[in-house]
Structure formats: C-alpha cells, structure tokens
Amino acid sequence: MNFENSKYPNLLQYSKVEFSFGTYFFFDNFVISELNEGIHFDWLKIQEVISAISEYYDDNFKIGYISNRINSYSLVPQLWIDFYKEYNFIVAGAIVAYNDFNYMNATLEKHFSKNSIKRCNSLEEAIEWMSKLKEFN
C-alpha cells in the first residue's frame, strides 16, 4: 500500500517531495521512499535525494529510512557501502517487501548496511517500528 492511501496522511505531519524517479515523504524522524516502477536507483539519484533531505532537516540530523517497495525497481546493494563512507545520518532502515522477491532483496541489502535494517510486511509495521526506536525517544 502506498503511503497516501494509508491511514497515516491523516495522522502524521509530513512534507512530500516528488522526483522524476519517485516520491519521498519527510517526517520529523524518518523518511519514506516510494520509487517508480522500473527505474534504476543509482548514485546520481541518491545524491538528489540526499540534497533534498539535507535542505529539509537541521544540521547534524539523524533519521530513519523506510523503503516502501510498492513498485519493482533495481539498485546495486553495494551503494550502501558508498553511502556510509560519505554520510552517517541514517540510524536505521526498514524495507517494506510485498512479495518474496523483494523480501530476498531486502535480506541481501541488509548485509551491506552498517545500521539495523528491519524487513517488514506492511507500511504500518515499518512506521510503528521506526516510531519506537530508542534514538527518537
């Protein structure tokens, strides 16, 4: 389920940012991504997102990242390694997998991340988990 069709737009304050490759929702402590069908999420797109995130949040911010995989797209898991070499603002991640293939990909990505990544079966599970992280309470 995409974010805008869930119960959360009426419950949480957020800002919506649309890119040519997907939509991002910015909250106080986390970001939700919903990438478009068939895109390849590469380093240039990551840089675009990082720029928007950096403009939105205050200096020295720490956030969680929820990847709401409502569409099928590709990315190179090793990009997590490159990301963590340059940036350290993500404290945890959640991947919402709606099928077995996405769940297997999430398992692979988990091995490349230096932070905790939870594999979730629903957007609600991801938001609830993210909201309870000790880093934000």
Q: Region 10-32: what's the mean pLDDT?
A: 97
Task: State the CB neighbour count (10 A cutoff) for residue 63.
Answer: 22
State the CATH number of the domain containing residue 37: 3.30.750
Summarize pLDDT for 78-90 with one digit per residue, the tens: 787 788 888 889 9
The reported pLDDT for the residue numbered 81 is 79
Query: Is the Cβ–Cβ distance between 25 and 65 less than 8 Å?
Result: no
pTM of the entire predicted model: 0.92
- Give the residue numbers spanning the domain of 70: 3-136
Q: Region 54-64: what's the mean pLDDT?
A: 93
Q: What is the DSSP letter of 115?
A: S
Look at 24 and 86; give whichever has higher pLDDT.
24
How many structural domains are present in the chain? 1
Q: What is the DSSP letter of 99?
A: S
The reported pLDDT for the residue numbered 107 is 67
